[in-house]
Homo-oligomer: A and B are copies of this chain.
């Protein structure tokens, strides 16, 4: 089995955790996968572009963030191997993104273009079901983020972050974690010292 086949198998196994794909479904799906390799700091999506694929991380680490009026970065989502990364808002609404989606390490993606994916939904209901679950989970995750961001003790938020992103914490710079938590890097540094 070559590398490409291994990567596709990773995706299939991932999907099979939620639904059951038969031979036919796997072949159909495999036929339109697109591989995309990004270097560190390279962008998958920039403001003004429209997200038109679902993106599965085979290897590497990515984040989505946006810039506020003061050019401050706000990280919304992080992802590593076997996570999906996107601007789901842009993908679903087909409107222009206001986000950057960026590789934090050299990253290998499998992409599923929207138009072909939507055709596949009709032929393979399991795939439709799978992404319905994913979108539902994304909704839940954003809702939890709202709730979390309201608990205004920053250290508690940092603690929650570490629980939710256990495997990711060590892989991303702290200024990005700070921008995820909504505090300055200086203050995060202060908190870490205080609680150590």
Contact = CB atoms under 8 A, between A and B. Distances in A.
Interface in A115-159: 135-136, 138-140, 142-143, 145-147, 149-152
A140 B89 contact: yes
Contacts of A92: 136, 139-140
Contact of A147 (B74, B88, B150, B152): B74
A93 B136 contact: yes
Interface residues of A, number: 24
A83 interface: no
A85 B7 CA distance: 42
A35 interface: no
A66 interface: yes
Contacts of A145: 146
Contacts of A140: 89, 92-93
A88 B146 contact: no
Contact of A66 (B135, B138, B147, B152): B147
A143 B147 CA distance: 12
Interface of A: 66, 68-69, 74, 76, 88-89, 92-93, 135-136, 138-140, 142-143, 145-147, 149-152, 182
Give the 9 A-B CB pairs with smallest separation, nearest first: A142-B142, A92-B136, A74-B150, A149-B149, A139-B139, A150-B182, A145-B146, A89-B143, A89-B140
